[in-house]
A and B are shown apart, each in its own frame.
Chain A
Amino acid sequence: MSTAAEATTRKARPVRERSWPTYLALTLLAVFFLFPLVMMLASAFKQDAAILPDSNSLKAFIPNPFDGTNFQDAADRADMWILARNSAIISIVTVIAGLAVNSTFGYALARLPFKMSKPLLLGVIALTIIPFQAVAIPLLFLVSELGWRDTLYVQMLPFIASPLFTYLFYSFFLAIPTEIEEAARIDGCGPVRTFWQVVLPLAKPAFATVGILQFLQIWGEYLWPVLVTTDSSVRPLPVGIAVFYTQPPISWGDIMAYATLTVVPMIVVFILFQRWFIQSVARSGLKG
């Protein structure tokens, strides 16, 4: 009896913190992280002439007078729909190809015993250290010699295979119990069928993780498209925004409409798949 009573009293009075300081801190932080995005949205839907007069007061957050023409303007000036299409093609193809290439490579390193797999694994880990920026200029020279500039595929090819994502897949596959695959092998499955029918269904979280991280990386890529493209028929969205700076008149309504349309697809995807985003980032930290 006495132990039960003790247990309930201990449960009944946990070290209760006052919660208002926590909420105050959370709210202030939320304001810091949200206000630029709210300003962007409000300005995108505001008459162009009203943006600068309002921009240093709270009026910056109110889309008044309301106006939807910025989106049309932005689309016309920057070939926005073409750029959006380019961004979508580049990101989707790269992520799908990347998932195929990096998952199979990771699986090979984790499971298929061949002579070179140990040094190969060390090699992959070593390659994660080379930042893309360090190879961007010689790569630019190579693709220029090949005449690959101003194409969509030159923006995909360098980002498909990634030592980091291969390593993430490798560590995921290593954690799957081998019994399942052995059972499949005894049932007469070859390595390709085992991978396709047995391992893939188990590895959905790993695919979601790497897919999201790679999509974030490609969708925002800026340096490489700046280097290899000059023509808006192949440029992705992040590069197109420069048009509004460099060609007068500078219209903030157009800029914010363009910014909104670049960002909103990602925000919608993020809100829909929030759990996956959070998990994928958390898992990328497990490397340490």
Chain B
Amino acid sequence: MFSLPGLILLGLFLILPFVFAIYLSFTNQKLASPLPVRWVGFDNYHRVLTDGDFWRAFANNLLFAAVVVPVQTGLALWMAILVNKRIRAAKVFRAIFFLPVVVVMTVAAVIWFLLLDPNRGLVNGFLGAITFGAVEPGWLQSTLWAMPAIIIISIWQGAGFQMIILLAGLQDIPQELYEAASIDGATKRQQFFYVTLPQLRNTLIFVITITMILAFRLFDQVWALTRGGPLNSTDTVMVQLVDTGFERKQIAVASAIAVIFFVVVLSLTLIQRIFLKEERS
């Protein structure tokens, strides 16, 4: 009886549409179309997997993940270590670093849109001033710099969240380990590599997996800022999915993308489980 509302809602809004997505992906269903629905087998999958735009989007997700996962996790770990020190104002800094997390992504996007304007933006104003005008990228208007811009915005918005999770992990490390290490003459650097990192292992695996999954879900900031452009340079799997299913109304093809996407996320999660299992045994 206690579980009934939850079961019904999960069934209706998660399980049913997911099963429906799998079914749709084998048909030729379109949104708001009078054509009769036909079973088309693996046609949609074939179409998606041979589509250059899809692979371009997938490669962008991989690129995004390859930069954001190490950079953001590293930055978050550094921030967590800094605010974990016994210094005054640590809590104030912790709050400041977390602040962008409560900023809605679409709002973050417009603020950065102005900051990254190639001619009038503050970022190029600053870069131009310190390099005497030598480095002034075109950011969102440039095929080369649009992805780095999306990456910077994402890190700005997300690093605080990971910092808090890593901070909780840091505070769980028994202080005696550091005392023992420093009695044995370990330097700060050695303490970091031989105490902090191994003790944080599970937290780090969790943070890295979550960041990887979020990297594959990348959508909001791209949709709000570039819609995948210029020239597909910021296109992602999720942008492809919404573009195909919603703008072009081909929900069967979009469902095939959704199923492929699910398989990728599932594999990432299983990889995490395997790593965590090793640790436990």
Contacts and interface: CB of A to CB of B under 8 A. Distances in A.
A137 B103 contact: no
Interface string B4-16: 0111011011111
For chain B, the bracket of interface size reads: 35 or more
A107 B2 contact: yes
B121 A29 contact: no
Interface residues of A, number: 92
Given A37-B103, A100-B5, A285-B165, A135 B245 contact: no
A249 to B, nearest CB: 15
The binding surface of chain B is classed by DSSP as helix
B2 A284 contact: no
Interface in B14-32: 14-18, 20-21, 24, 29, 31-32
Interface stretch (A1-9, A139-147, A201-209): A139-147
Contacts of B21: 134-135, 137-138
Interface string B233-268: 000001001100110000100110011011001100
A270 B167 contact: no
B93 A29 contact: yes
Interface string A219-252: 1101100110000000001110110100000001
Contacts of A136: 241-242, 245, 258
B110 A241 contact: yes
Contact of A101 (B9, B85, B114, B251): B9
Nearest to A281: B164
A199 B82 CA distance: 38
Given A23-B87, A56-B125, A129-B265, A141 B205 contact: no
B20 A142 contact: yes
Given A137-B21, A285-B169, A259 B111 contact: yes
Interface of B: 1-3, 5-7, 9-10, 12-18, 20-21, 24, 29, 31-32, 78-79, 82-83, 85, 87, 89, 93-108, 110-112, 114-115, 117, 119-122, 124-125, 128, 156, 160-161, 164-169, 182, 188, 202-203, 205-207, 209, 213, 217, 219-220, 223-224, 238, 241-242, 245-246, 251, 254-255, 258-259, 261-262, 265-266, 269, 276
Interface of A: 15, 17, 19, 22-23, 25-26, 29-30, 32-37, 39-40, 43, 52, 55-57, 60, 100-102, 104-105, 107-109, 112, 120, 124, 127, 129-131, 133-142, 144, 157-158, 160-161, 163, 166, 191, 195, 216, 219-220, 222-223, 226-227, 237-239, 241-242, 244, 252, 255-256, 259, 262-263, 266-267, 269-271, 274, 277-278, 281-288
17 contacts: A30-B93, A37-B99, A37-B111, A56-B120, A127-B14, A129-B266, A135-B13, A135-B17, A135-B18, A138-B21, A138-B251, A142-B17, A160-B9, A227-B242, A238-B105, A263-B102, A281-B164
Given A55-B121, A141-B31, A259-B111, 15 more contacts: A33-B160, A37-B103, A55-B122, A104-B3, A104-B5, A105-B5, A109-B3, A133-B241, A137-B245, A141-B20, A216-B102, A263-B104, A274-B95, A278-B98, A285-B165
